[in-house]
Structure 1
Amino acid sequence: MEKSYVHVYTGNGKGKTTASIGLSIRAALAGKKVFIGQFVKGMEYSELKLVDYLSNIEIQQFGRDCFIYNDPTEEDIEAAKKGLEICKKVLESGKYDLVVLDELNIALYYKLFSIEEAIEIIENRDDSVEVIITGRYAPKEIIALADLVTEMKEIKHYYTEGVEARKGIEF
């Protein structure tokens, strides 16, 4: 059996979710089954339409309409904990070859659940499941758990010039 690995895409630069979506598409086109769980996201991101084109990709969001900008609410915490439980079942099932835990690091940063809970579900996954974890502020425990860590570092970004997020590019 092929060994599975844990990838982490973190840092303050653009491209963490984008990289995970790119790898998800690659895996799906290779015939693999992919699950993408998006923590703290509830908006209509363009990647949600992937399921209309690739039947072996499933996406679920575990957030509310907006990204968290202040202290999380009870609803934010409840949505994240429900998502973590779903992801636990997905990771244990062996039904998927690749599981993306999008913005897991942000959920940890906002303490929507504990680092120990997150590590436990990743360590107890089916041996064949490759995992991608995205989000800024990857805690040292997640970095230690990972087999591959990529840091996206912002050098220059058009946001600083007032450019708003654009459909199909940023969302």
Structure 2
Amino acid sequence: MARGYVHVYTGNGKGKTTAALGLALRAVCAGKRVFFGQFVKGMDYSELKAVDFLPNFVIEQFGRGCFIHGKPGDEDIKAAKNGLGKLKKILEEGNFDLVVMDEVNIALYFELITSSEVIEAVNNRAEHVEVVLTGRYAPQEVIDLADLVTEMKEVKHYYQKGVEAREGIEF
């Protein structure tokens, strides 16, 4: 790819991470290298096993293994800042064709990192690198940065009927 573009997948509907994983699968199947960095997440999601099946796919979590309830702690902030530092380097080096910053908008929402830090990292990437930023509550400055924005809108969800998260579908 001569020029990489910036995607944002946001909104309250299900499917933001799933869409990014679909794009990652497509890229790997086209011979591209993918780095998938997950902010806030630290739990054992099924997609972590993708490295066993997909060549040129790397995934790393920048969370503590629990959801943030209330005000985030120093450990949450440290994990997000370390993750952003790693992604900044990966974006600059250009060794990956697609870099996903999964749940980065949630990290911004909880003020673990700042929009200006994320925008700087994206703007300083190698020219060919495609970037995806996912998560609810994408701030306007991130939307303005993007070349493509998709908002997932929840119309109906089975959790409203008491269906809990299922392995391989929600996690």
Pairwise TM-score range, normalised by the shorter structure: over 0.9
Give CA-to-partner distance per residue, 1:83-109, whole Å, 9 cap, x none: 000000110011000000000000000
User: Does residue 73 of structure 2 align to residue 73 of structure 1?
Assistant: yes
**1:29-48 matches, cutoff 5 A:** 29-48=29-48
User: Does residue 137 of structure 2 align to residue 131 of structure 1?
Assistant: no
The gaps in structure 2 that reach 5 residues or longer are none
User: Match for residue 51 of structure 2?
Assistant: 51
User: Match for residue 164 of structure 2?
Assistant: 164
Distance (whole Å) between structure 2 residues aligned to residue 149 and residue 64 of structure 1: 28
Count residues with an aligned counterpart: 171
User: Does residue 84 of structure 2 align to residue 84 of structure 1?
Assistant: yes
Distance (whole Å) between structure 1 residues aligned to residue 57 and residue 78 of structure 2: 25
Structure 1 SS opposite 2:54 = coil
Worse overlay, 62-71 or 97-106: 62-71
Give CA-to-partner distance per residue, 1:55-94, whole Å, 9 cap, x none: 2000010001112122111100000000000000110011
Distance (whole Å) between structure 2 residues aligned to residue 130 and residue 67 of structure 1: 28
Distance (whole Å) between structure 1 residues aligned to residue 66 and residue 168 of structure 2: 18
Distance (whole Å) between structure 1 residues aligned to residue 42 and residue 19 of structure 2: 19
**How high is the TM-score relative to the length of structure 1?**
0.98
Structure 1 moving runs of 4+ over 4 Å:
none
Structure 2 SS opposite 1:61 = strand
**How high is the TM-score relative to the length of structure 2?**
0.98
Worse overlay, 65-74 or 118-127: 65-74
Distance (whole Å) between structure 1 residues aligned to residue 27 and residue 69 of structure 2: 33
User: Match for residue 106 of structure 1?
Assistant: 106
Worse overlay, 62-71 or 84-93: 62-71
User: Does residue 27 of structure 2 align to residue 20 of structure 1?
Assistant: no
Distance (whole Å) between structure 1 residues aligned to residue 107 and residue 79 of structure 2: 10
The gaps in structure 1 that reach 5 residues or longer are none
Structure 1 SS opposite 2:36 = strand
Q: Does the 8 A contact of 2:2 with 2:127 survive in 1?
A: no
Structure 2 SS opposite 1:55 = coil
User: Match for residue 95 of structure 2?
Assistant: 95
